[in-house]
Amino acid sequence: MADLLRLENVSKAYTGGLTGGRSTIALRNFSMTLKEDEPTILTVAGESGSGKTTLAMLLLGFISPSAGQIIYRGKNVASLQGKERLAYRREVQAVFQDPFAVFNPFYTVDHLLSVPIKNFKLAKSKADARDKMEGALTAVGLRPEDILGRFPHQLSGGQRQRINVARALLLKPRLLIADEPVSMVDASLRATILETLRNLQRDHGVSIIYITHDLTTAYHIAKSIVVLYRGAVMEAGDVDAVIKDPQHPYTQLLVDSIPWPNLDQRWGAQPIKVREAGGGGEGCRFRSRCPVAMDICATDPPLYRLGDSHTASCFRYDRQPLVARENLSELLPA
Amino acid sequence: MNYSNLSVAPTARAAMPPLAAKVEPVLRVSGLEVTYYTDAGRAKALDNVTFTLNPGEKLGMVGESGSGKSTMALAMMRMIKAPGRIEGGSVVVGDTDLMSLDAEGMRKARLSKIAYIPQGAMNSLNPVMRIGAQMMDAVKSHLPRESRAAIEARCKRALQSVDLDPGVFRMHPHELSGGMKQRVCIAIGILLDPQVIIADEPTSALDVVTQRQVMETIDNVKNAINAAVILIGHDMGLMAQFVDKVAVMYAGRLVEFSTVREMFTDPRHPYARALIDSLPNLDNKGVFQGIPGLAPSLLRLPSGCAFHPRCASIMDSCRSVRPEPRVLAGGRSVTCHLYDGEG
């Protein structure tokens, strides 16, 4: 079975200052595989500074990894050139967080949709281009006659975000990187956009990497989840297992802090330790905030296998069998 | 300022005041109307909004974008800018009617009687000024006679009350994380012990853990100065965890005002019901139930009830007759023809 995308021990460090004295490791030894013929939705969750967006930038090829490699359909992304690079650009698409910032206010929506058609020479004629645009808009549940010819300020946030999804869909991508696609739209519209994404995966065979800090939506849309904290994997596995029965103290804190719309399910009483500034050095990244930190946590915890599709990187589970970091994806159901 | 009771557990709910003494509401908003005069026509952004709030109470104000939530906050602060205009109504804080104050009186009332934490507050700090200088500016303009040392002490107490290190006083905004900046803005908001604090989506850009921290901070300072809090947002989950009362806005009108328990167990207005039904929880995995249709444009409101084109329980009268707010048993208020026979 061919791999669509394979990340092999990818790390990304940002060095700061002219002398390059201080470096921040935004992503550490991250491995992951997406299969070509099993489109899935994978959530990458974590708070600000956990490396989620760095991962998105790496996957989109905007930045290159400091170590390790990203393999897309058998080819290293960093060395793609010419036609192959163009194909990669077309097949890996993105939907970003802010539906207000990605539109140029001087152009109508048609412009946003026709530029990719032109650049990738998707249409033979104007009428063909128009058909393609209408098809993509219909696929995300918009009425083309309401949308085409309009300016962005005439559209609501939910409509704009769906246009972004439509733009990505136009290019028939294999992989969609959705970086916080619903965090800036109204709660009543979130459902519609999430449903659009899920239909994309189900009906068009697009794999989606859903990047978010919102575990509620992650739970509803994704099959599997990877929880990051300061660039390291804390816990991963089947989304049901991880969110209903979190094992890592960090995931427990996250799940405990979800404001469920339920009066009988109160915000947890677990006190929050303030996060320290700086790079964190060696050992478990969550150590300084962990309520159950032990001496051994000063060394890097490996991944322990907690079940068929559940793993956590915490020494509390050191009786469980180890999982090699490269094999993380085996525990993520597709 | 008395922050001595800050040590209470953050999640402990505020004890109800003894029932014997009748509590006087600290905030009375009545008949508030705001209109924006745009080139395309008149848009009534707030239409006859009336409610009261007691000291120590937390009100959540929810609604879609464009429903008038932020206009509500700005109108209460009298910060509506042209082409908008406050066309009527009163906002009484304690015993002062803010609408009758002159410009200087209103400037003094802001921050000392009613404080506003704007949306994206962390971007409202001046990047080239130290936090301390920005805080002291605010106090100085209200209390010109106070000594520098006293002002500084007041600012540091405020920082402490939001769980920030007093060292933050000497820092610049770029040295702080998003959650810390947000807490600085809360600290600025409570510098002068206001009676009403309005927080406009204070946590929408923060992750869940930081969000919980910020909300607990607001809760603690509210308890310390017994202020009323208005939380504006669209996250019903956050509302369930934080507020005592919920006000649902739709197209500039208050369509339902009830306690948080009534709202979550028995929402009355069809829009409120749809909002509650669209909420995700752990039991209905993969079910996405949005509210069909789009929020109406304020320039072209539907006739009768503005919600009727999207309403699941529409009746004939909804198309032509505009419903008026009706107080039902228990004190909740609903603006819907379904309850015409009640209350």
| Domain-located, residue B231 | yes
> From CA B322, how far away is CA B335, in angstroms rounded?
9
Could you say which DSSP state residue A276 is in? P
Place of tokens 């009066």: A263
Q: Which of B177, B206, B282 to mutate to test the interface with A (most CBs of A within 10 A)?
A: B282
| Domain-located, residue B294 | no
Q: What is the count of structural domains for chain A?
A: 1
Asked if the Cβ–Cβ distance from A272 to B213 is below 8 Å, we say: yes
Beta-carbon contacts of A278 under 8 Å, excluding residues fewer than 6 positions away, are none
| Contact between B98 and B76 (Cβ < 8 Å) | yes
Q: What is the count of structural domains for chain B?
A: 1
* 3-state SS class at B331: coil
A188 band by pLDDT with thresholds 50, 70 and 90: low
Looking at the predicted structure, is the pLDDT value of residue B4 above 70? no
Asked if the Cβ–Cβ distance from B236 to A261 is below 8 Å, we say: yes
| Contact between A164 and A99 (Cβ < 8 Å) | yes
| Domain-located, residue B297 | no
Nearest CA in chain A to B274: A188
| Domain-located, residue B116 | yes
| Domain-located, residue A211 | yes
Query: Measured between beta carbons, which residues in chain A are less than 8 angstroms from residue B276?
Result: 261
Short-list B60, B115, B108, CA closest to B230? B60
Asked if the Cβ–Cβ distance from B239 to A261 is below 8 Å, we say: yes
pLDDT in tens, B16-48: 555 545 688 999 999 999 999 988 888 899 999
pLDDT in tens, A305-331: 998 899 999 999 999 999 888 888 888
Read out DSSP for A223-273? SEEEEEETTEEEEEEEHHHHHHS--SHHHHHHHHT---S-TTSPPP-PPPP
Looking at the predicted structure, is the pLDDT value of residue B284 above 80? no
**How many other β-carbons are positioned within 10 Å of the β-carbon of residue B193?**
18
Nearest CA in chain A to B11: A269
Averaged pLDDT, A64-81: 89
Residue B130 lies in domain: 24-258
| Domain-located, residue A114 | no
Beta strands in A52-106 (DSSP E): 67-72, 75-76, 92-95
B75 band by pLDDT with thresholds 50, 70 and 90: very high
Q: Which of A43, A161, A180, A186 to mutate to test the interface with B (most CBs of B within 10 A)?
A: A186
| Contact between B182 and B121 (Cβ < 8 Å) | yes
Closest CB to B209 among A157, A214, A254 = A254
Q: What is the pTM of this model?
A: 0.81
**How many other β-carbons are positioned within 10 Å of the β-carbon of residue A333?**
16
CATH of the domain at A87: 3.40.50.300
Q: What ipTM does the predicted assembly reach?
A: 0.75
Query: How close does chain A come to B282, measured CA to CA in Å?
Result: 8
pLDDT in tens, A123-148: 888 899 999 899 888 888 788 888 88
Query: Measured between beta carbons, which residues in chain B are less than 8 angstroms from residue A257?
Result: 208-209, 211-212
CATH of the domain at B120: 3.40.50.300
Instruction: Dig out the tokens for A285 from the structure.
Output: 């990244």
| Domain-located, residue B7 | no
| Domain-located, residue B278 | no
Closest CB to A217 among B64, B280, B294 = B280
State which amino acid sits at residue B190: I
Q: Which helix (H) or strand (E) holds A87?
A: helix A82-91
| Domain-located, residue A308 | yes
Q: What is the pLDDT of residue B9?
A: 44
| Domain-located, residue A157 | no
Mean pLDDT, chain A, rounded, equals 86
| Domain-located, residue A314 | yes
Q: What is the pLDDT of residue A21?
A: 63
Nearest CA in chain A to B67: A186
Closest CB to B281 among A215, A254, A262 = A262
Residue A89 lies in domain: 3-99+173-331
Averaged pLDDT, B2-11: 46
| Domain-located, residue B153 | yes
